[in-house]
Each structure stands twice: as C-alpha cells, then as structure tokens.
Structure 1
Amino acid sequence: MTTSIGRRAFFLAVPGNLLLWLIAAFHMMLVAALFVAFLAARPAAAEDAACTGRNLMVDLQQNDPARYAEAVKEAEATPNGKGIFWKIEKPGLAPSWLLGSMHVTDPRVLALPPRAQTAHDTAHTIIIESDEILDERKATAALLARPELTMFTDGTTIDKLLSAEDYKRLEASLNQRGIPLSAVSRMRPWMISSAVALPACELARKARGVQFLDQKIASDAVAEGKEVKGLETLAEQIQAMADLPVEFHMKSLIETLELGAKMNDVVETMTDLYLSGDIGMTMPMLKTVTPATVDETSDYAAFEQRVILDRNKVMAERAVPILDGGNVFMAVGALHLPGKDGVIELLRKQGFTVTAVN
C-alpha cells in the first residue's frame, strides 16, 4: 500500500516490521507509562485487560521448522545472547552484577531470579538507565519541559498525517485503553505508537500503580538506604527517538494499528524469551514475524545506531567509574547486553571480566 504523510508518500509493506524493531527498544515504552496518568480517561477494568498473547515461536517451530532453525542459528551466533544475569569482576574490586531488565509490570518479570535478588540486596550501589523514573511526577514534568521531543510544536496534529481509515483505527485502539484521541492529537507518532502498542493489561497494571521492573529495583534500593544512580536522563533517551525522521515513526504507527491484537503475541513472545534468558533470539524472532523490505532494512539500521548502539556506548562509559567502586548492582534493558557492540563487550574492553550467571 502507499501511505501519504502530508504531501509526501511512501510505500509500506502490509505488514512490515518497522514497528517490531521499535518494540525491540522496549525501554522507550516507559514514556507511555509515564503519561498514562495524564491520558487515561478511565483505567481499563481488570476483566477487560486480560493478557491474551501467545508465544509465536511455538507456532513457528510447529509450522515452519526450517525458518525456526534459521532463527535459532542466528541467535546462537549472537555474542552474549544467552542469559540475563552477569557477574562483573576486576582485580582488587568486590564483584558487581549486571541484570538485563525488561521494562514491564508483568509479575513474572518482577520476580527476580534468586541470585539476582541476593546481589541486589547486598549491593552498595544500584545503577539503572535513568534514576528519574523514581518519581514519575517529576519525570513527567521534565518531559513536559521539553515539549519539542514528544509533541508537534508547529501546529501539526495526527489527523493531518493519517488517512481517514487509519485515523479511525487509532481512535478505536485508544478508546479500548481509555485514552481520548484529543489527549494525544499533538503527540509525535512514536509516542502514540507506544500507547497503542503496549498490551492493555500492561497499561491497566500501570494505571493501578504497579511499578515496572526498573522502578521496582530502584525504589526497593531507596527503601533500603542504597544509593541509586542513573546512566542517562529521560530527555537523552527521548532525544534519540526524536532524532529519527517522522516518516519512520509514521510507518511504525501505521503498522501498530494494522497489527492490532498481534502485538500482544509479540510482547508475550519477547517476555517468554526474556524469562528463559534467550535474549539473542529476540531479534531473529522479530524477523520471522514479518520479513523486512529493503527500505525497512535501511530504516532499521538508522534506528539501531541511534537508539541502541549509541546508547550502549553512553551507558558503558558512564557505568565504568561507578563499577570501579565495586559491589554494584546494575540493571539496563536486556537488549543492550548482547552483540559485539553490546554493553557486555564494551565493559570487557574497559578491563572488566563479565561472565554469565546461571
């Protein structure tokens, strides 16, 4: 199909995988959580917000074993792709620990593995991506202070960028989440994508005040009198998204609307992979859901560089002087860990020994 944005048009595969790559940077979804209190006309009722996703890899293994085998092969070739909990060591220092996190309120995710819980409880210092998430009101205020990062400031509204059909889809999807369309009409497309891509059960838990994993790790640490340090500001995180072209974000929003309930399956599959420690399988899994076109492959390269790889470097560089104090518990998004340019390899280049903990 051809989709128009203002007077511009571009070809969009139906469905493509730009949104799925966007979901791979799940940490950005916390922005939607921070804004829920401002957007929700009513929190979704618990009975209306049951988690309905299913694991897509089970179906793939049964229905297309060859493609499943390709995904497994790619995952196995990913450096540091197995495991979410790692030990960080350097001579003369007390060991530190690294947890790959998933920024959701799912109770299965909130229950830390026993050794990770012990490491958290005995650490002197806790590191998370942004310590601003400890106070959601202040965090939201900080974001609102930089409206150009999350909102159109030139009078543009989302209805001017969507077809009538997609606009109706957006309105219906938001209504299911208790969010009036008028509340998001001036928001940038990626912000709206976040609001409609997260499962309703996730938004409902967040609206009830359930903390996502990183928040819980940090707030528990504060309650225990520990020092909590952030590696980035929320503005820095959002700037990474804002730096990408509006066309990229519009494609992602449209694909979100087209995929509809299938997003629940994608999130459930990511959660199952996370719980099993198969982080290296996440990207191959997303590729199997929908194949990329040439244009989308190029789009993802820019996205990966700005939102994942650039931030990997920042997080690793800023973590080093804290880790040099020893006895640190560090939690960052799990998808920042694997790969030759992941946080684990970057820490190794700084002289640390980083090993997986079963």
Structure 2
Amino acid sequence: MRMRPRPDSSPLRAALAYGQALVLGVAFFVAIRPLPVATASAQVAELGLTLDTTTAEAAVETARTAPLAHSLLWKITRPDIAHASYLYGTVHIIPVSRFKVPGRLLEALEQTDRIVFEFNMGDEDFSLNAGREMRLEPGTTLPDLYSDEQFGALAARVQEDYGFDLALVGTMKPFYLIPLLGRNLIGEPVTSYERYLFDYANEHGVAIGGLEDVQRQFAVVNAIPLAEQADMLAELIEEPDEAKAMFRNMYDAYDEQDLARIHTFFLESPEMKKYHDLLLVNRNHAWIPAIAKHHEEGRSFIACGAGHFAGEDGLIRLLRDAGFTVVPE
C-alpha cells in the first residue's frame, strides 16, 4: 500500500500527546501477546464514540482567553460531603530532571483513601486487553501500510537513529510505536507521575481506581484510520525535530503549571482538533459522574492528564458546574 500525501499541518503532536497515556501503561505492565483483535468499527460503535469537529475552534479560543490559576493540584469539595478530594494534573512521560514531588502533593496523598487514574492501572485484565488491542488484525503487518521502498527507508532510519529493528514490532499498530520511539528523543532518562503514584499506592496500601474502562481509550486509537497512523509514524521517523520541540514546549508549560497553555498547545494540532470531542470533550463529561462517585465513596486523589483541566469543557469548569467547589492548592 502506498502512502497518501502527507497533510500540510502535522498530526504528530496529537499522537505523541495522547499516545503517551496508553503506551505508558503498556510499557510498565504488558508483555505483548499474539492475540486476535476485534474490528475497530465494531468497537467504536459499541462504545458509542463519534467524531465531531464542531467544538474544537471554540475550545481553542476559550483556552486562550479564560484565566486559570497556575496549579497542578486542586482541592475539590461538595457541600453535602464533609471530606475533600484532590485533582492532580499529570504529564504521562517526563524527563527525570524535570520530575518533582512537592510537599503539598505528599500532604494531599497522606489524606487520600484511593488514587484514581484515567483507567485502573491495577486491573488484572489490563495486560490482556492491551496485548490484544495494540496489535494489528491478523493478516496485516506494519510493512503492508507502506510501499516496499518507504518501509525499507523507514526501517533503515530507525536502525540508524535508535539501534532498533522496526521489523521486530511489525504486528503493532503504528500509533503505539510513536510514543515508544518519541520518548527516545527526549535525550535523557524518563519517568512518570502515574508510575510514582501507582508505586505509592502499592507501598502505602492505598486503593486504586479508574475514571473509565481502558477499552474506551483503546477504542479512541482504533477510530484513527491505519493510514493516518502510518503517516504519523513515518513523520516521526523522518522529521524528529518537530517531536523534540513539542516535548520541550510541553515540559516548559508543565513546569510553569500553566493549564490553559497546555490545553491550547494540544488543540493547536489540526489532527487533535479533528478528534477533539473524542479525545477530550466526551471523556471529560463522562468523567464528572465518575469523579463524583469516587468522592462520595471516600477521600480520592484523581490523577489525569493536565490537558483535561482547562477550557469550557475542562474538568475544573465541569466540576464547578456540577456543584463542586474547586480551588488551587
């Protein structure tokens, strides 16, 4: 299959930004297994997911203009419940040199009965689902998504730049290779807040929960056509400087705890706009009752990507609309 012409504006930023979350969990908890894959169309339809671009432009403008305190940690309370819970914005992969655990974060964790991630990283079925979902359908391999000439050139470049044989992951969907390769462009060892919080929960006997079923996250990836995924992977391999700049800008914004900038940064990608409702809006709205339920059941520490916080359909605004008081810590 020959590649279609690459769009003028790069979709790579969206893939790197969103793909980190899934690949993070996979990298820590999954040994890839040769299991069959459900068809993407059936999965997406079953979960009721849709693609809608109508709110993306308005969301960009809201993120640019709405003031929001520079804070990653927020306390959430509700008048009918005595205890407080916390909302913490993460970045799923971060250089060790930029990783910080402030005292206020530790204080919040000490007041926590459970740590809630985007999906339950302690779920026993997670590795089984991930091993299945990351693979192409039987009969399709990575070289099938490119011309022989292009795949040969990409494989040679990966071998030269990463010391890695691309053919060894020939049954993986291209999307999942993007953050795995992209993290090598950071130029230093990496870690993650999810990894830290997961270990903290296990070491301190804190319960673990999730805001959504991991199957929904995989379905989002399955909604992106393989041809587009293949384009994204090729662009990362052929033009790594854009990914390096993206990481620098994202980590600078995160260091400044600038939630509005982080939100706008993700939305500036044309490809992210295309999947804006699927990746952010629909999920944020679905998370509000989940957050409320966790809060009602006990003191909860909600850890999710900082890109979900700002904007008209961001978690902070939606929680306030749902009757919560949400204040920066």
Give the TM-score, by structure 1 length.
0.73
Structure 1 CA distance for aligned equivalents of residues 93 and 189 of structure 2: 10
What is the match of residue 123 of structure 1? 112
Cα pair 1:87 1:355 within 8 Å, conserved: yes
2:281 aligned counterpart, secondary structure? helix
Q: 1:176 to 1:189 in 2, by over 3 A?
A: same
| Alignment of 1:18 onto 2:14 | no
Structure 1 CA distance for aligned equivalents of residues 113 and 223 of structure 2: 36
Which amino acid is the alignment partner of residue 143 of structure 1?
A: A
Q: 1:284 to 1:76 in 2, by over 3 A?
A: closer
How large is the Cα RMSD of the aligned pairs? 3.1
| Alignment of 1:106 onto 2:95 | yes
Structure 2 CA distance for aligned equivalents of residues 172 and 341 of structure 1: 41
Which amino acid is the alignment partner of residue 113 of structure 1?
A: P
Which amino acid is the alignment partner of residue 239 of structure 1?
A: A
Cα distance, 1:200 vs. partner?
A: 4.7
Q: 1:134 to 1:117 in 2, by over 3 A?
A: farther
Any idea what the Cα deviations from partners look like across 1:38-63, whole Å, max 9, x if unmatched?
Answer: 69xxxxxxxxxxxxxxxxxxxxxxxx
What is the match of residue 235 of structure 2? 255
Q: 1:171 to 1:334 in 2, by over 3 A?
A: farther
Structure 1 CA distance for aligned equivalents of residues 159 and 276 of structure 2: 28
Correspondences of 1:142-221 after superposition (within 5 Å): 142-144=129-131, 147=132, 149-163=133-147, 164-165=149-150, 167-173=152-158, 176-200=161-185, 205=189, 212-221=192-201
What is the match of residue 264 of structure 1? 244
What is the match of residue 52 of structure 2? none
Cα distance, 1:79 vs. partner?
A: 5.8
> Which consecutive unaligned segments of at least 5 residues does structure 1 have?
1-5, 40-71
Cα pair 1:126 1:229 within 8 Å, conserved: yes
Cα pair 1:18 1:300 within 8 Å, conserved: yes
Cα pair 1:125 1:328 within 8 Å, conserved: yes
Structure 2 CA distance for aligned equivalents of residues 301 and 78 of structure 1: 19
Which amino acid is the alignment partner of residue 152 of structure 1?
A: L
2:76 aligned counterpart, secondary structure? strand
Percent identical among aligned pairs is 22
Any idea what the Cα deviations from partners look like across 1:155-202, whole Å, max 9, x if unmatched?
Answer: 222222224245423443256445432221121121122222223558
Cα pair 1:29 1:198 within 8 Å, conserved: no
> Which consecutive unaligned segments of at least 5 residues does structure 2 have?
34-59
Match of 2:209 among 212, 225, 229: 229
What is the match of residue 33 of structure 1? 27
Structure 2 CA distance for aligned equivalents of residues 226 and 267 of structure 1: 32
Any idea what the Cα deviations from partners look like across 1:242-265, whole Å, max 9, x if unmatched?
Answer: 122223322322221232144223
Structure 2 CA distance for aligned equivalents of residues 239 and 178 of structure 1: 31
Which amino acid is the alignment partner of residue 116 of structure 2?
A: I
Which amino acid is the alignment partner of residue 193 of structure 1?
A: I
Q: 1:134 to 1:192 in 2, by over 3 A?
A: same
1:199 aligned counterpart, secondary structure? helix
Cα distance, 1:284 vs. partner?
A: 4.3
Give the TM-score, by structure 2 length.
0.78
What is the match of residue 305 of structure 1? 277
